[in-house]
Amino acid sequence: MGASPQRVDGLTGSVRCGALGCGSKSEREAVWLDTDQGCYALRLKNAPSFGDTTLDGLVGHRVSCSGFIVDSVLLAERIELID
């Protein structure tokens, strides 16, 4: 069973694109948030887990996010572009 959701506010980091689920049937390229606290697969809270390209334009930028961390996924409710 997965960890309980952890609320985060103002978590900042760099948005990257890379492999998720290496070696599994669901292996794919995903958008990641690389922070001082760790790396999290970045998803919008109400977006589908596969096929959503909404965040692709943030790759290469720094952002500040608020939402929930569940296991290694950040389900973002708010994303603010820093640079």
Which pLDDT score is estimated for 35? 95
Q: DSSP letter for 57, please.
A: G
Q: pLDDT per residue over 39-79, tens digit each?
A: 899 999 998 877 788 999 999 999 999 999 999 899 999 99
Q: How far is CA 76 from CA 25, 26, 37, 47, in A?
A: 25, 21, 16, 10
Confidence of residue 32 (pLDDT cuts 50, 70, 90): very high
Which pLDDT score is estimated for 40? 92
Q: Architecture of domain 6-81 in CATH?
A: Beta Barrel (2.40)
Residue 50: how many CA atoms within 13 Å on its side-chain side?
5
Structural domain boundaries of the chain?
6-81
Helix, strand, coil % in the chain, rounded to nearest 5: 5, 60, 40
Which pLDDT score is estimated for 19? 76
